[in-house]
A = this chain, B = another copy of it.
Amino acid sequence: DEEADAPLYPEVSDSMEPDQVALLLESLPREARAECWAQVPVEQRVDVLVEMRTEARASLLRDFDSQALDQLISDLDAETLIELAESLPEDVVDIALARMDERQREHYERSAQYDENAIGRYVDHQLLILPQNSRVRDAVRLLRRETPLFTQHLWLVDRTGRYAGAVETRALFGQPDHLPLIELEEDEFEPLQATRSLREATEAFEHAEVSALPVVDDSGRLLGRMTQTLALELLHEHYEGQLMASAGLDEEEDLFAPVMRSSRRRATWLGINLLTAFLASWAIGLFEGTLQEVVALAVLMPVVASMGGIAGSQTLTLIIRGLALGQISAANIMPLLRKELSVGGLNGVLWALVIGFVAAYWFSSPGIGLVIALAIVVNIAVAALSGVMVPVLLEKLKIDPALSGSVILTTVTDVVGFVVFLGLGSLFLT
Residues of A within 8 A of B (CB): 6-10, 17, 19, 23-24, 26-29, 140, 143-144, 147, 149-152, 169-174, 202, 205-207, 209-211, 228-229, 231-233, 235-236, 239-240, 242-244, 246-249, 253, 255-256, 259-260, 262-263, 266-267, 269-271, 273-274, 276-278, 280-281, 284-285, 288, 291-292, 295-296, 298-303, 305-307, 310-311, 313-314, 316-318, 320-322, 325-332, 334-336, 339, 342-343, 346-347, 350-351, 354-355, 358, 414
Taking a contact as CB atoms under 8 Å apart, the answer to whether B331 and A302 are in contact is no
Taking a contact as CB atoms under 8 Å apart, the answer to whether A23 and B327 are in contact is yes
Taking a contact as CB atoms under 8 Å apart, the answer to whether B307 and A281 are in contact is no
Query: Closest residue of chain B to A149, judged by CB?
Result: B209
Q: A259-B343, A274-B303, A302-B305 are in contact. Are A314 and B247 (CB under 8 A)?
A: yes
Q: A19-B206, A144-B173, A347-B267 are in contact. Are A327 and B273 (CB under 8 A)?
A: no
* 10 new A-B contacts at CB < 8 Å, known A256-B336, A274-B351, A301-B302: A9-B331, A19-B206, A23-B325, A232-B235, A247-B317, A247-B318, A259-B346, A267-B351, A270-B351, A288-B296
Query: Closest residue of chain B to A407, judged by CB?
Result: B310
Smallest beta-carbon distance A148→chain B, Å: 9
Main secondary structure of the interface of A (DSSP, over half): helix
Taking a contact as CB atoms under 8 Å apart, the answer to whether A269 and B314 are in contact is yes
Distance A288 CA – B6 CA, assembled complex (angstroms)? 47
Distance A428 CA – B145 CA, assembled complex (angstroms)? 83
Distance A330 CA – B27 CA, assembled complex (angstroms)? 11
Smallest beta-carbon distance A322→chain B, Å: 6
Query: Closest residue of chain B to A302, judged by CB?
Result: B280
User: Which residues of B sit under 8 angstroms from A299, Cβ to Cβ?
Assistant: 281, 284-285, 288, 291
User: Which residues of B sit under 8 angstroms from A202, Cβ to Cβ?
Assistant: 232
Smallest beta-carbon distance A334→chain B, Å: 7
Taking a contact as CB atoms under 8 Å apart, the answer to whether A206 and B236 are in contact is yes
Distance A353 CA – B349 CA, assembled complex (angstroms)? 42
Smallest beta-carbon distance A275→chain B, Å: 10
Distance A244 CA – B300 CA, assembled complex (angstroms)? 29
Of listed A27, A281, A301, residue having the most chain B CB within 10 A: A281
Query: Closest residue of chain B to A387, judged by CB?
Result: B247
User: Which residues of B sit under 8 angstroms from A246, Cβ to Cβ?
Assistant: 317
27 contacts between A and B (CB under 8 A): A7-B330, A8-B331, A9-B332, A26-B325, A27-B328, A29-B335, A143-B170, A149-B209, A206-B229, A206-B233, A211-B228, A246-B317, A247-B316, A249-B317, A255-B327, A255-B336, A256-B339, A267-B347, A270-B310, A270-B311, A274-B354, A276-B306, A280-B306, A281-B303, A284-B299, A291-B291, A298-B298
